[in-house]
Amino acid sequence: MSRKRRVAVLGATGTVGQRFISLLAGHPWFEISALTTSERNVGKRYGDVAHWLVPGGVPEAVADVKLEPTRSELDADICFSALPPDAASEAEAALAKAGHHVFSNVKTHRMDDDVPLIIAEVNPEHAKALEVQRRRRGWTGSIVTNGNCSAIGFALAAAPLHKSFGIERVVVTTLQALSGASYPGVASLDALDNVVPFIAEEEEKMEQETKKFLGAWNGQRFVPAEFVFSAHCNRVSVRDGHTDTVSMSLRGSPSVAEVKERMREFRGRPQELALPTAPKRPIIVREERDRPQPLIDRDVEGGMAAVVGRVQEDAVLGIRYVVLTHNTIRGAAGASVLNAELLQAEGCLP
Amino acid sequence: MSRKRRVAVLGATGTVGQRFISLLAGHPWFEISALTTSERNVGKRYGDVAHWLVPGGVPEAVADVKLEPTRSELDADICFSALPPDAASEAEAALAKAGHHVFSNVKTHRMDDDVPLIIAEVNPEHAKALEVQRRRRGWTGSIVTNGNCSAIGFALAAAPLHKSFGIERVVVTTLQALSGASYPGVASLDALDNVVPFIAEEEEKMEQETKKFLGAWNGQRFVPAEFVFSAHCNRVSVRDGHTDTVSMSLRGSPSVAEVKERMREFRGRPQELALPTAPKRPIIVREERDRPQPLIDRDVEGGMAAVVGRVQEDAVLGIRYVVLTHNTIRGAAGASVLNAELLQAEGCLP
Amino acid sequence: MSRKRRVAVLGATGTVGQRFISLLAGHPWFEISALTTSERNVGKRYGDVAHWLVPGGVPEAVADVKLEPTRSELDADICFSALPPDAASEAEAALAKAGHHVFSNVKTHRMDDDVPLIIAEVNPEHAKALEVQRRRRGWTGSIVTNGNCSAIGFALAAAPLHKSFGIERVVVTTLQALSGASYPGVASLDALDNVVPFIAEEEEKMEQETKKFLGAWNGQRFVPAEFVFSAHCNRVSVRDGHTDTVSMSLRGSPSVAEVKERMREFRGRPQELALPTAPKRPIIVREERDRPQPLIDRDVEGGMAAVVGRVQEDAVLGIRYVVLTHNTIRGAAGASVLNAELLQAEGCLP
Amino acid sequence: MSRKRRVAVLGATGTVGQRFISLLAGHPWFEISALTTSERNVGKRYGDVAHWLVPGGVPEAVADVKLEPTRSELDADICFSALPPDAASEAEAALAKAGHHVFSNVKTHRMDDDVPLIIAEVNPEHAKALEVQRRRRGWTGSIVTNGNCSAIGFALAAAPLHKSFGIERVVVTTLQALSGASYPGVASLDALDNVVPFIAEEEEKMEQETKKFLGAWNGQRFVPAEFVFSAHCNRVSVRDGHTDTVSMSLRGSPSVAEVKERMREFRGRPQELALPTAPKRPIIVREERDRPQPLIDRDVEGGMAAVVGRVQEDAVLGIRYVVLTHNTIRGAAGASVLNAELLQAEGCLP
């Protein structure tokens, strides 16, 4: 690859936009050519506008970039979208129509019949839907989405179990980080010394998207995986890193050892292709009795791995474990960048 | 009751000991006559030794009390025990043998065959075991225990469901407060910006004790309730108040409305007897989509109620809800004081 | 007083409005007759609109109150104002003109030439300005203000020192609570694991208001106290309670013992009149080496006392100490209620 | 330098020990040859014993290292000491006597007449004291100390001001991070929703050490800088990063612009020698009104810079500013490693 592809970050100032920038700074294949924002900040320096919260500060290369509006004439082949849902529903389709390849972190198109919802290790074959998408919509570009942070975290660790055994039923409780609510997001007066046992639409998204991730593309549309799913979603006082407790029944009642083995040996196309953002091990299984913990485990493999612990028999459903993922990296910007690398490597981004 | 009964708090300086003192200050039936502590603090003023953390400061009446060792000659009819487990295993039996009525918050005797483990609203009839206890052990006093904070919180809200329908299977995830680990307990470096998905022995205690609470006394021994139980216990950055997410299957598959109704109408002996520490409503069911929250709900009814919310159908097990209890009041000291009031009112403390 | 006076809370849903309601529930002299809010919530139930964060929940008596707009025909003799500054600048004067006695927690009129800025124990004589205010403005009602939370906390503890010795120079650093920024206020992503060394306008307000509190009313206007003042204001991750470190030079270089003595013996009109909201001791001086702490000391005397500790010699300026006050009680709503009690008791509210 | 020098970390499991290991992993000049610990952990794997809290996890190269006791026969030229003070007072002198070069983060020898207390950019010339130290004590090795975290942070930013103008008087308030209290250190029940306005011995250390840093070596002993100093030290709920508010009088009353200029242009020997751990800019001056903040600024320059903001005129003392330093990197392990690099480069470690 002699020249880097030009990429834009749409909605560049928010918490996910910042993660996109942080992951794209120094990327071997991509270079940032445009940053977009809402109307009132257009024309300002990125460094003056972003309330930057990612450790290490604003990368120097982007601090001086002038913010642009999100419009279809952007100078970029690939667009990473962290737009607010309202803005996304207009802009992303227009960009795809104009030939841009949009990798969207936004919920707007995730459940569309012809829009792939991809975790690069889990369901790369869903990219085949792009042919239908382009034909049906008359686009020269495309939209690929990457799912809600909770859905990605759960589905990545569960994928080898579903592939090997088949999931029947799942009860999952999430302990989700504050950064998932964007900025300003959760008020400190609600977060300090508190738990909020509710996140709007999260339980629904987690169920629907997990079933799409683990389902199939039949050439015409996505066929969701069939299992029974119940999620309790909670917000806790953690900056980054969603922790899930999982109780699950699997076909054939595999042993704890088999479950760990399947998780540990799990590899996908990103690992085969050695993509720049791919974790070496997508799932890390720990044996300590008190891991994973967000503080200690969220940054492992650059924040791109699911860290699993406490894999045990579950009296009610058969298997239980705890899984942690970095919600704004593996669960958002990192997932999207990895999807773009995958499709680029597979030749799907003409 | 013309005269108050004399009560001691054993292990008076810890977080539960402080809650005992706070609840007993100004109690209409009981007056504090002794506070005990470990050897190195004996003889010191309570106010000088306790690292007091309950809002409002040390009650004036106890600040000047001289700390005593825990020995069987205590000047007290009733002893509330917040001893460390090691100290409790020697001291509590000796006190009961010497004629004291021990209400223990300690795990040591909870699962003993002839020691009642009581939630006053749930299984007051277990107090009948005291006859066997006294006869078999040759005691003139007695030991009554009140369970682990997580077990109490779960069992109180689940009791009317078990009585009305019968619990079959439960998956529960706890988000437990820091005060449950006593003082100094959890290091701030482990608590800030973190979740710890493990609490030693907690999941086992929660299962065993819940089954004893909801089980029966057959005249000779306790017969545990029969259901399948799985608990995931987590520590989160909250001062007080344990939050549980519950998914549960009940016999006869009652509706959400029936479940709420049974919880709301639930009353026990403490309410019939209008005991001083009894909440008017042991279970409060809220309809807001984002409640209960520790910060807002833990102090309702003086911290003695279980606050339930988000009662819904559960795709996997039938019914789901969230329940919050104040872990050092309803889940510890308050439960014990209420047990003592109950047995006193029922004439079981000669 | 045979009948309670009717009082309104203006801007009733915010953090200070909630504190007003909490303090006025069950008040012996005042009863809430109206709660006002911004346009979009008018007509709704208070309990449905307020994001209530004060421990103990919404007082039952106000949960069903219908919210009104802030207009001069309010059914109330006394109005406690927690309005946003914009709304206040229009509404408060109109209310005063219409005959209401406004006790405002808002900055709008604090530095006006004829508006008293009062801490009830410190400068009650400033109420004499009301005659000029009414005459000059043609009002039958009045406006009395109570200062910024940081200014009140500092000035209350410093008042006996200024009166006894005279302050010459002060360097103060504040560690301010999150509730001072109202709701939603500080984002949790800015508060968790962080300090923000800046609060807009706070340092200026603290200086100006402190000088007005400790200054004089000369019959025509307020003459500010003369000393040199430097404040460094910081936001820290504490819910309630502002902590100040103070280094100060006093005329005559009093000893540490004299400083403590003057603070301890300090009493004002609220104590002489035994006003309902008055703390018995406005300033509590502690001798422990690590007090005051917000968690332990903010609620002492119902949150109405300044708690002082670590009074020592200061190598640079002579005297140093730490002072803590509850920012939304002593520093806001409680200060305002106490001012109203004072003026009512002194016959200044015809 | 053809071969790396062998270095030991003494007291390797604590929070500072972990930072040493983290900074030495992959160091171009040093390689870890020994890790020491207290008696009960000797012989165990480092990875099994350390409660690792530095982001990124235990470096692989040290996870399998067997822990040794701290004794004078250690296989290491250079010893970085993070020992507890008791252990240090015996061990460090014995090691120096046996020919090791000890770079100690412990308070034990900091104020000794012939032990240099060095900030590499500030007073590298104090290393000359090592000749006296070796002669007087008959050592072939040496001890160099690096000061308390608060003292280093303050002195680094103040150094160019003292050198250019001369400090006369300082009032400083610190808002110190939890990691400064080591592990387990501050209990979460004391840290959550709280400030502790006291740290044992901190204010005294900060004064004494700052005066030694900014003082002179006269060939025989250290002559402390002469200025008047008052520090208020507080613990706040922040993981890493000490924030200080500073009010200061300087000789000649320099302008704000001059102060910023001197800070910005400040460079020392580590920058001249381009030492591996040296920050490019030892002091970074920011112009935003709300910086520095621990969350955003503590990791700048690898945690080795002092970040200064809000440089302004101070009404009382002339100049004021806020300074932030990473307490376990710049204020502890990083300072020590930089000192070792400096003395190695200067040929002082034969």
B296 and B255 in one domain? yes
D207 and D193 in one domain? yes
Nearest-angstrom CA–CA distance, A260 and A321: 10
Q: Average pLDDT in the B273-286 region?
A: 98
From the list B236, B315, B316, which residue is nearest A236 (CB)? B236
B162 and B133 in one domain? no
Both tokens assigned to C101? 């006695």
> Would you call D192 an interface residue with chain B, using a CB distance cutoff of 8 Å?
yes
Q: Examine residue C125 and state whether it is found in any structural domain, yes or no.
A: yes
Both tokens assigned to B348? 């079981």
Residue in chain B closest to C189 (alpha carbons) equals B193
D143 and D289 in one domain? no
B212 and B103 in one domain? no
Both tokens assigned to A41? 């900040």
| pLDDT confidence of residue B2 | 54
Nearest to C162 by CA among C227, C221, C219: C227
Contact D243/C320, CB-based, under 8 Å?
no
Which residues lie below 8 Å from residue A277, measured CB to CB, with a gap of 6+? A23, A270, A302, A304, A334, A337, A338, A341
A13 and A59 in one domain? yes
Residue in chain D closest to C311 (alpha carbons) equals D232
Residue in chain D closest to A58 (alpha carbons) equals D296
Q: Examine residue B350 and state whether it is found in any structural domain, yes or no.
A: no
Q: Average pLDDT in the B54-72 region?
A: 91
Q: Is the per-residue pLDDT at A2 higher than 60?
A: no
Q: pLDDT digits over D1-45, tens only?
A: 458 999 999 999 999 999 999 999 999 999 999 999 999 999 999
Residue A158 belongs to domain with CATH number: 3.30.360.10
Residue C68 pairs in a beta bridge with C36
A206 and A86 in one domain? no
Contact D234/C228, CB-based, under 8 Å?
no
| pLDDT confidence of residue D2 | 54
Q: Examine residue B114 and state whether it is found in any structural domain, yes or no.
A: yes
Instruction: Confirm if A243 and A232 have CB atoms less than 8 A apart.
Output: no
Residue in chain C closest to D189 (alpha carbons) equals C295
> Would you call B322 an interface residue with chain A, using a CB distance cutoff of 8 Å?
yes
Which residues lie below 8 Å from residue A82, measured CB to CB, with a gap of 6+? A9, A10, A11, A12, A14, A16, A17, A20, A105, A106, A332, A333
Q: Average pLDDT in the A83-98 region?
A: 94
**Residue A86: is it exposed, middle or buried by C-beta count within 10 angstroms (0-12/13-18/19+)?**
exposed
From the list B178, B183, B184, which residue is nearest D192 (CB)? B178
**Residue B271: is it exposed, middle or buried by C-beta count within 10 angstroms (0-12/13-18/19+)?**
middle
Nearest-angstrom CA–CA distance, D216 and D223: 5
Q: pLDDT digits over A279-294, tens only?
A: 999 999 999 999 999 9
Is A242 one of the catalytic residues? yes
* Segments of C36-158 assigned E as strands: 78-81, 101-104, 142-145
Contact C299/B52, CB-based, under 8 Å?
no
Test the B interface: residue of A190, A199, A230 with most B CBs within 10 Å = A230
Q: pLDDT digits over B181-217, tens only?
A: 999 999 999 999 999 999 999 999 999 999 999 999 9
Question: Contacts for B281-284 with beta carbons within 8 Å, 24 or more apart?
Answer: B281/B305, B282/B121, B282/B156, B282/B306, B283/B156, B283/B157, B283/B160, B283/B307, B283/B308, B284/B308
Residue A91 belongs to domain with CATH number: 3.40.50.720
Q: Please count the residue pairs, one from chain A and one from chain C, whose beta carbons lie less than 8 angstroms apart.
A: 61
D103 and D22 in one domain? yes
* Segments of D186-277 assigned E as strands: 216-217, 222-223, 228-235, 242-250
Q: Average pLDDT in the B267-272 region?
A: 98
- Provide the H-helix boundaries in C25-128: 46-49, 60-63, 85-97
Distance from CA of B153 to the nearest CA of A (A): 16
Q: Examine residue D350 and state whether it is found in any structural domain, yes or no.
A: no
Q: Which residue is listed with tokens 């529903």?
A: A89
Instruction: Confirm if A65 and A45 have CB atoms less than 8 A apart.
Output: yes
**What does the DSSP 8-state code read for residue A45?**
B
CA torsion angle B125 B128 B133 B134 (round to 10): 140
A250 and A282 in one domain? yes
> Would you call A320 an interface residue with chain B, using a CB distance cutoff of 8 Å?
yes
Q: Which residue is listed with tokens 């802009």?
A: A91
Distance from CA of B86 to the nearest CA of C (A): 30
| pLDDT confidence of residue A122 | 98
B303 and B253 in one domain? yes
Both tokens assigned to C36? 């006002």
What parts of chain C have a pLDDT lower than 50?
1
Contact D296/A192, CB-based, under 8 Å?
no
> Would you call B255 an interface residue with chain D, using a CB distance cutoff of 8 Å?
no
What 3 state SS string does C278-339 have? CCCCCEEECCCCCCCCHHHHCCHHHHCCEEEEEEEEECCCEEEEEEEECCCHHHHHHHHHHH
Q: pLDDT digits over B316-326, tens only?
A: 999 999 999 99
Chain A positions in Cβ-Cβ contact with residue B153 (cut-off 8 Å): none
Contact B188/D183, CB-based, under 8 Å?
no
Q: pLDDT digits over A3-55, tens only?
A: 899 999 999 999 999 999 999 999 999 999 999 999 999 999 999 999 999 98
Instruction: Confirm if A337 and A251 have CB atoms less than 8 A apart.
Output: no
Residue D313 pairs in a beta bridge with D319
Q: Is the per-residue pLDDT at D133 higher than 60?
A: yes
Q: Average pLDDT in the D308-324 region?
A: 98
Q: Which of C79, C242, C326, C348 is catalytic?
A: C242
Distance from CA of A285 to the nearest CA of B (A): 14
∠B170-B175-B181 over CA atoms, to 5°?
Answer: 115
CB-CB neighbours of B71 under 10 Å: 11
A214 and A102 in one domain? no
Q: pLDDT digits over D136-173, tens only?
A: 999 999 999 999 999 999 999 999 999 999 999 999 99
Chain A positions in Cβ-Cβ contact with residue D53 (cut-off 8 Å): 295-296
| pLDDT confidence of residue B1 | 46
Both tokens assigned to A62? 């982007």
Q: Which of D100, D162, D242, D326 is catalytic?
A: D242
Nearest-angstrom CA–CA distance, B142 and B160: 28
Test the D interface: residue of C316, C323, C326 with most D CBs within 10 Å = C316
CA torsion angle B104 B105 B110 B112 (round to 10): -20
Instruction: Confirm if C103 and C144 have CB atoms less than 8 A apart.
Output: yes
Is C232 one of the catalytic residues? no
Q: Which residue is listed with tokens 């200086």?
A: C207
Could you give the number of structural domains in chain D?
2
For the four alpha carbons of B289, B292, B296 and B301, in that order, the dihedral sign comes to positive
Q: Examine residue B12 and state whether it is found in any structural domain, yes or no.
A: yes
C131 and C18 in one domain? yes
Q: Average pLDDT in the B256-268 region?
A: 98
Owning domain of residue A139: 5-148+333-345
> Would you call A198 an interface residue with chain B, using a CB distance cutoff of 8 Å?
yes
Q: Average pLDDT in the D307-322 region?
A: 98
From the list A190, A192, A239, which residue is nearest C189 (CB)? A239
- Provide the H-helix boundaries in chain B: 15-24, 46-49, 60-63, 85-97, 129-137, 149-164, 188-191, 202-213, 256-265, 269-272, 294-297, 334-345
* Segments of A208-317 assigned E as strands: 216-217, 222-223, 228-235, 242-250, 283-285, 306-314
